[in-house]
Structure 1
Amino acid sequence: MAPAHSSYDVVIIGGAMIGSAVAWWLARDPAFDGRILVVERDPSFEFASTSHSNSCIRMQFGTEVNVAISRFGLEFIRNFRGFAGEDAPEIHLDDFGYLYLARDEAEAARLRTAQALQARMGAGTRLLSPGQLHAAFPFMRFDDVILGSHNPGEEGCFDGGTMFSEFRRRARKMGVEEVKAEATGFETAGGRITHVTLSDGSRIACGQVVNAAGPRASRVAEMAGIAIPVEPRKRYTFIFEAEDRLPRKLPLTVDPCGIHYRTDGALYMAGCPPVTDGPCDPDDFEMDHAVWEDRVWPALAERIPAFERIRLRNTWVGHYAYNTLDQNALLGLHPDCENLLFANGFSGHGLQQAPAVGRGIAEHVIHGGWRSLDLSPLSVARVVSGVPLTEAAVI
């Protein structure tokens, strides 16, 4: 079905979590009364990064802006009804926390510096010595660990699927229009995008455009003659059952060996990148099954002896929209186009950062800048300057 109108105040390219968050924040703002069109190539979202996300939130970042984004994300999850309305469902947070493990002094120093930043910003992250780690998690081996960092109560797995569906449902009720199509080109004049052309043949006049295309973000940027360092990268997820269940919930443990694992309801989840981590085609979801046998299972059993007897239940491949510059989001206006807003390159942080970023991009559309939270450190303009904002805490 073609769009109902030939012109929209805002065209959002990409209708998954980020695009839907932007649309919802825009539509609910009394200062905005324009038309919004969300262009989504696959409204089933079967292969979207949103659908393959592990749906977690953490305070344990090493940059102030990312901690601030997470602090708001936690507030948003805890008070979803306050933001969305009393008829909204509650968003459940299983707050088992993240557990970062350091096995050398350089990594331990990073954890200490990050914990000091997080504590200064109100987060409850605590550092754990090897003895404290053994006492808290006696079912784990820490012979190679010199320091841990854990934040129970503010981190864990949240119901991102419900949040996403509520963004979409409520945005539609407020007049946001969705169309199944792919953006195939831009018409520009005077440094602005004037029209978006769609795969269904539509030619849509636009006031502002938001690039929320996830792993395909670079393709959208190229239509405006802009290069951004965002590429699809595979991430593997494994769901498994343990014959001997652990005596307590397993935090999302970021192991120095390069894998991570956590409780997943009555089961457990592990994840990792490919052996060779590089760009892939956005339609490539082929699993390397040897990774489980050769890398993940041995590492699990080494850290947690009870995981020597486990049974693999499910696997899937998702994509990070990976920012090769510094693994941080690219947000806002690019100097080369005055009405194309970027919300890209989250490198695995998109779901947890969607509430703050959706609000921020909506404020940028309406007011021309950041209002509630200063997201300028994540400006896409740093791609032009070549000055990265390095985030060491990337999984």
Structure 2
Amino acid sequence: MAISGFPSAPSRSSYDVIIIGGAIMGSATAWFLTENPDFDGSVLVVERDPSYAMCSTAHTYSCIRQQFSDPLNVRISQFTAEFIKDLPDRIGDARAPRLSVQNFGYLYLADNEGFADQLRGNAQIQRAAGAGTELLTRDEIAARYPFYQLDDILLGSINTRDEGYWDGGTLFDWLRRSARSRGVEYIGNEVAGMTKDGNRARSVTLASGQQIACGHVVNASGPRAARTAAMAGINLPVEPRRRFNWVYTAEKPLVRELPLTIDPSGVHTRQDGPSTYMAGAAPAEDLAVEPDDFRMDHDRWQDHVWPIIANRIPQFESIRVVTEWVGHYAYNTLDQNAIVGPHPEVENLLFQNGFSGHGLQQAPAMGRAIAELIAYGEFRSLDLTPMLFDRILSARRAVETAVI
């Protein structure tokens, strides 16, 4: 991914829209604003790390799925799949690649009747929204994927249409590049404060001390979202949580692609390259951390992840880690679902937060939605009303149970 540096100071003292956070979510919003025929305002994106080395976008699994429990999330991912496959036409640049999904699918494995019933209910929701979800008995899983150990498994759920790996980094690069070419200004700086006037955010203050007036402010700051919200006196239930990731090779590789397999333990593993595999897991204690905390628990692989993988796929008894890294979920502690749109008491502060690991695949639809709110004051393409911020104030949950 080609990264170019940004100036540290803005060229103006006032912007119609200031976006805090320039990774894929903020860049998607910036690009969709330039694409909207009814918006012709000025846009500033403030990114604290122009290298993007530590952002969630850079540490993602880069996968997409339609197996969600919330039908809105199914439709959101479907839009992304459509968008990336038509990227040159969508973005208006013949140089952009036409991306595709490596459709190995997600395979959820249920080892108890309660979770099996949940998969059955989710499959009905997914199919009604147009997904190609299949429910597989233990024997059907074994026939299709003979490398699994399935003695404890009752049911599986898989979709191999627009579900699997895709090149999210390339989409991010093109959204950012195109937004800048269309006049969006990016700076390498940090928002350190926000001033309000009644029920509106009036300006943001940069770490350099400069104050910039704003028409709208978009909080697209990922795992730092709660800190950004606190500048406006708002409590946002989003916290950074570490996620561990490993790439490994196997002494005896599988003869076919490995679906993104979600073991009942929560450990998940999938095909990575032609001869490599990827695995992920949460810490033993899944607690909030500082947004710059990327500590790896080096015992987690040996003591927890590898034994589970080797039990589920006996052929992987002998595997070797090639590389490992830590990323962050921007985890919504209320319901693990997106928080989108304006705050009821600060009407020009828009939230684009709390994706709980789904952000990359949801960025195009979320960018379009925020752009519509700014241009029209309402959602036009996809009604995301259930995800509005006001549910946070009343603790009204919009639950997404299919969180990995």
**Class of the TM-score when normalised by the shorter of the 2 chains:** over 0.9
Displacement after TM superposition at 1:333 (Å): 0.6
Identity %: 55
Matched residue type, 2:200: R
Conserved? CA contact 1:12–1:210, under 8 Å: yes
Aligned equivalent of 1:14 = 21
Distance 2:107 2:233 in 1: 42
2:295 is the counterpart of 1:275: no
2:35 is the counterpart of 1:28: yes
When structure 1 is superposed on structure 2, of 210-219 and 90-99 the one drifting more is 90-99
CA-to-aligned-CA distance 1:16-66 (integer Å, 9 cap, x gap)? 010000000001222111110000000101010000000110000001111
Distance 2:99 2:191 in 1: 32
Displacement after TM superposition at 1:164 (Å): 0.2
Displacement after TM superposition at 1:81 (Å): 2.1
Aligned equivalent of 2:394 = 385
Distance 1:78 1:166 in 2: 13
Aligned equivalent of 2:187 = 179
Distance 1:112 1:96 in 2: 20
Conserved? CA contact 1:28–1:174, under 8 Å: no
Conserved? CA contact 2:52–2:58, under 8 Å: yes
CA-to-aligned-CA distance 1:365-390 (integer Å, 9 cap, x gap)? 11101110001111111100111011
Conserved? CA contact 1:226–1:336, under 8 Å: no
2:257 is the counterpart of 1:249: yes
Task: Kindly report structure 1 stretches of 4+ aligned residues shifted beyond 2 Å.
Answer: none
Distance 1:377 1:159 in 2: 29
Aligned equivalent of 1:90 = 98
Distance 1:256 1:88 in 2: 39
- Partner of residue 135 from structure 1, selected from 135, 138, 143: 143
Matched residue type, 1:123: A
The DSSP-based 3-state class of the residue aligned with 1:93 is coil
> 1:23-172 maps to which residues of 2 (within 5 A)?
23-85=30-92, 86-172=94-180
Aligned equivalent of 1:217 = 225
- Partner of residue 344 from structure 1, selected from 349, 353, 358: 353
Paired positions, count: 395
Aligned equivalent of 2:241 = 233
Matched residue type, 1:155: E
> 1:317-332 maps to which residues of 2 (within 5 A)?
317-332=326-341
Displacement after TM superposition at 1:82 (Å): 2.5
Conserved? CA contact 1:236–1:317, under 8 Å: yes
The DSSP-based 3-state class of the residue aligned with 1:2 is coil
> 1:187-226 maps to which residues of 2 (within 5 A)?
187-226=195-234
The DSSP-based 3-state class of the residue aligned with 1:239 is strand
Distance 1:270 1:24 in 2: 32
Q: Which runs of 5+ in 1 are unaligned?
A: none
Distance 1:68 1:160 in 2: 18
RMSD: 0.8
The DSSP-based 3-state class of the residue aligned with 2:295 is coil
Distance 1:16 1:336 in 2: 27
CA-to-aligned-CA distance 1:294-324 (integer Å, 9 cap, x gap)? 0010001000011111110000000000000
Displacement after TM superposition at 1:255 (Å): 0.6
